[in-house]
Amino acid sequence: MGGFYRFLLRRSVNMVIVLFATLILTIALLGPTMDRILRDSIKYYIIEEVNSKNLKFPNEVERQKYINERVEFQTKALGLDEPWYSPKRFFNTVVKVMLLDLGKSNFLTSDSGSSNVRDIILEKLPKTVLLFTTSTLVITVIGLYLGSFVASKAGSIWDRFNSAFAVFSGSFPTWWVAMLMIFAFAFTYHIFPARATPLTPPSDPQYAADLVYHMLLPLITIVLVGFGSWAYIVRYFVVGILGEDYIAAKRASGIPEKRIIYSHALKNAAPPIITVVALSLAGSFGGAITVEAVFDWPGMGKLYYDAIGVLDIPVIIGLTYISTVIFVITVFVTDIVYAYFDPRVKVA
Amino acid sequence: MLSRSEIVREFKRSKSGIAGVAILLGLILMTVYSAVAIPLESFRQWNNPNFWIDHPKAAAPAWTNLGSKVPEHKIMDSRDAEISESIQDGTRTLVHSYSIDFNYDDYPDDFMLPYSAKYGSTQPVLDVSVIRPDGKEFEIYFSSLPVSRSDQGEFSSRVFSTDKQIAESLKRYLGEFQYRQDPAKPEVMVFSDTQEPGVLKGKYTFRETFFLFNPGDSVIDSGVILGGKVYGLMGTDEFRRDLAIGILWAAPVALFIGLTVSIASVLIGLIYGVVAGYRGRRTDEGLMRINDVFYSLPTLPLLVILSVTIGRSIFLITGFLVIFGWVGMAKISRSLALQIKNLQYVEAAKLMGQSDINIIFKHIIPQLLPLTFASIAISVPSAILGEAALSFLGLGDPSIPTWGQILHEANSASATTRGLWWWIVPPGLMIAITGLAFALIGNALDAIVNPRSRRV
């Protein structure tokens, strides 16, 4: 077991390094912009305040002096007098975000009106998880059956058709197919709504049904683009296993071909397939940005899209960090599970 | 290891590989065509709305105009006009008459009356009337031209059909119609039958009369632009741009991004992986840890952040894509270098005292070159898709047309829910086809040179 613990340790260290690297990179890139926005907003609010309070000044110079003093005071109070890369502020931000204290957003709010970044993300997270987990599940099931079916007929017309479809669908941008689907099924045939944000409020008992109805078109789109390459991956693994000696032995002992494929071959191909499923699910946030933006699906991807539009830096940092956390933890867990069952991995 | 001629021979036998090469040749032809036949100006001015103002707005491709005919786009300038001139009490009257045979089943999309004139302090007056096939004459515009800003320069402007003056003037003719008409839609009202709702076909004459009060004044040009509902090979978008030009020009851009990114990232990954695999031990450990970190970084979010904060020029975006592109190749080439470095000839070279750099570049990397070419082709689609996704989010290079950017604009103008399919289908199809070409070539090459996929 010593090898396994060393492996575990190495992976954990790796995970922390990745999280640190992402965070430092994000903050270093966004720091200057964030500072500028914060300073501008302080100035804006103070000028607003001076105007609304109707303060009287003997002349313009006095007024400007007062405003400058107030701005300086506020900037100091918020610690903005030091640049973002000063050790104190930088370390402060890193530790805070690492502990999931994501601060307050600049512009965006959650549906309940909170401007706490964690609240906003927590509100959107389930929607993204719902859409992408469901579609990954559907894709996996279709991929497993189709993949092992064409693997059993390797070289046939079905197999070639499937490979061609996989290459085709892999070249299509999912968000473009999404636009086509909206054009076909929302504009030409009014079957699905064009915007996937349900209009019923979440408190309504009808909400769940409405959400599912709005989810169908994005779901169909993701499945349509994704299942081809899935079937291809499954086929690759299953064909590899069908060439092994023990399968030949099973064939020789007269076990029906169907059982060999669906129960023996598929079972042995399962670990790598599960890894790929887990990784693609964990990495789906990148795809979520474009797909959710097209469908207006109220998830994390749409939130990210909106946050870029208004340059809401705390939300951008928070989302980038959370999506990395999810990805890294999934990679970690799959690695460990895989290593536990397949001793070869630990050595490599 | 296969020789070069063997690889070429096997590749020629692969139908999908040949198909990929054929598509690629088509794309290169498109590039050559756009470089030769389309003025470079249209590429530079892609995002300048004034450049495209003479084009129709959101018009479908011309070849869709079958069955019931919708109006085609018509641009006429003073060369197409019948010009007459007269002088009375020191006022010169210039009449430019434009005859249009309007035999379509639908109304035009809009119309514009561009003019350019040279005048001093007293502004000329422009009077526009339309003489319809039923003999009725609608005076649609009567106004003095704006005060000229430059002293003796030319002044060019245009009267749009959406001008308030036109709607105001048309109110006088509402009584002519047996049914309700909307003067706010001059393109409909001017071209409507008075008896029943429908298009009045026949010959229309737009008469533009300029009254000039100074001897030095002159009219340089006038014209009528009848906004068509169909235009060109691929139609136009909301900003009146000819989509065919954008789509053609985007082909070299996509090829440049795809090839530069994939070549750079595959080469970096190759050297990185081979060094890690060959040196082994701590170097390998360290390099592969860095590789793992890059593998786990969220690509699209970081690409977005990079282009928001650092810049959006096409060269920067190419660089950003390389940062995330080399990771996969590094893993593959490392595992192959691990195998090759234990081969006898490498050991022999080492014993002969050759330097590590020499061994890596002379003995190991040449062995991996066929695989490198396959990997370059395979990684082009993801580079193209990456750039397209970035452009689609509105973060691409704003100065040049790309397919992703055209789709971004289509999405922002909600082209999907307005049924403007010609704005959506071609750019996406081009992205897919370009990616497909390289995927086909790459897969065919990979099947020949990669020992792993050979087996299956």
Q: Could you tell me if B193 and B293 lie in one domain?
A: no
ipTM of the complex: 0.84
Q: Could you tell me if A180 and A85 lie in one domain?
A: no
Q: What is the mean pLDDT of residues A231-242?
A: 84
Query: Which carries the bigger pLDDT value, residue B226 or residue A154?
Result: B226
pLDDT of residue B23: 92
Residues 6+ positions from B383 with CB-CB distance below 8 Å: B257, B258, B261, B262, B265, B321, B325
Query: Which carries the bigger pLDDT value, residue A220 or residue A22?
Result: A220
**Residue A346 confidence (pLDDT) above 60:** no
CA dihedral A304, A306, A309, A311 (to 10 degrees): -60
**Residue B51 confidence (pLDDT) above 70:** yes
Is B301–A311 a contact, with Cβ atoms under 8 angstroms apart? no
Q: Could you tell me if A233 and A293 lie in one domain?
A: yes
CA-based nearest distance B372→chain A, Å:
20
Q: Which of B395, B428, B443 sits opposite A173 (nearest CB)?
A: B428
Q: Could you tell me if A88 and A124 lie in one domain?
A: no
Q: Could you tell me if A280 and A155 lie in one domain?
A: yes
Q: From the candidates A19, A162, A176, A291, which should be mutated to test the interface with B, based on the most B CB atoms within 10 A? A: A176
Contacts of A283 in chain B (CB under 8 A): 298
pLDDT of residue A343: 56
Q: Does A293 touch chain B (CB under 8 A)?
A: yes
Q: The domain that contains A180 carries what CATH number?
A: 1.10.3720.10
Residues 6+ positions from A291 with CB-CB distance below 8 Å: A174, A175, A178, A218, A221, A222, A297, A301
Q: Could you tell me if A88 and A126 lie in one domain?
A: no
**Contact map slice: A 86-145 vs B, CB within 8 A:** none
Q: Could you tell me if A85 and A176 lie in one domain?
A: no
Is A179–B418 a contact, with Cβ atoms under 8 angstroms apart? no
Q: Could you tell me if A138 and A184 lie in one domain?
A: yes
Q: Does B385 touch chain A (CB under 8 A)?
A: yes
pLDDT of residue B150: 61
pLDDT of residue B249: 87
Q: Could you tell me if B167 and B83 lie in one domain?
A: yes
**Contact map slice: A 294-333 vs B, CB within 8 A:** 294, 304-305, 308-309, 311, 316, 319-320, 323-324, 327-328, 331
- Residue B11 CA to residue B3 CA, distance in Å, equals 12
Number of domains into which chain B is organized = 2
B371: containing domain? 4-45+242-449
Q: Does B338 touch chain A (CB under 8 A)?
A: no
Q: Could you tell me if A261 and A169 lie in one domain?
A: yes
Q: Where does the pLDDT of residue A348 fall: very low under 50, low under 70, confident under 90, or very high at 90 and above?
A: very low
Number of domains into which chain A is organized = 2
A224: containing domain? 117-311
Q: What is the mean pLDDT of residues B381-409?
A: 89
Q: From the candidates A26, A128, A175, which should be mutated to test the interface with B, based on the most B CB atoms within 10 A? A: A175
Last-in-domain residue among B226, B260, B277? B226
Q: Could you tell me if A81 and A225 lie in one domain?
A: no
Q: Could you tell me if B201 and B101 lie in one domain?
A: yes
Q: Which of B310, B407, B419 sits opposite A176 (nearest CB)?
A: B407
pTM value > 0.90 = no
Say what percent of chain B tops pLDDT 70.
Answer: 96
Is A336 a member of any domain? no
CA-based nearest distance B280→chain A, Å:
12
Q: Could you tell me if B331 and B437 lie in one domain?
A: yes
Q: From the candidates B288, B296, B393, B420, which should be mutated to test the interface with A, based on the most A CB atoms within 10 A? A: B296
Q: Could you tell me if B305 and B385 lie in one domain?
A: yes
- Residue B171 CA to residue B163 CA, distance in Å, equals 13
Q: Could you tell me if B73 and B187 lie in one domain?
A: yes
Q: Could you tell me if B298 and B414 lie in one domain?
A: yes
pLDDT digits (tens, 9 = 90+) for B264-283: 999 999 999 989 988 878 88
> How does the average pLDDT of chain A come out, rounded?
81
Q: The domain that contains B206 carries what CATH number?
A: 2.60.120
Q: What's chain B look like in SS3?
A: CCCHHHHHHHHHHCHHHHHHHHHHHHHHHHHHHHHHHCCHHHHHCCCCHHHHCCCCCCCECHHHCCCCCCCECEEEEHHHCEEEEEEECCEEEEEEEEEEEECCCCCCCEEEEEEEEECCCCCCEEEEEEECCCCCEEEEEEEECCCCCCCCCEEEEEEECCCHHHHHHHHHHHHHCCCCCCCCCHHHHCCECCCCCCECCEEEEEEEEEEECCCCCEEEEEEEEEECCECCCCCECCCCCEHHHHHHHHHHHHHHHHHHHHHHHHHHHHHHHHHHHHHCHHHHHHHHHHHHHHHHCCHHHHHHHHHHHCCCCHHHHHHHHHHHHCHHHHHHHHHHHHHHCCCHHHHHHHHCCCCHHHHHHHHHHHHHHHHHHHHHHHHHHHHHHHHHHHHHCCCCCCCCCCHHHHHHHHHHCCHHHHCCHHHHHHHHHHHHHHHHHHHHHHHHHHHHHCHHHHHC
Is B301–A328 a contact, with Cβ atoms under 8 angstroms apart? no
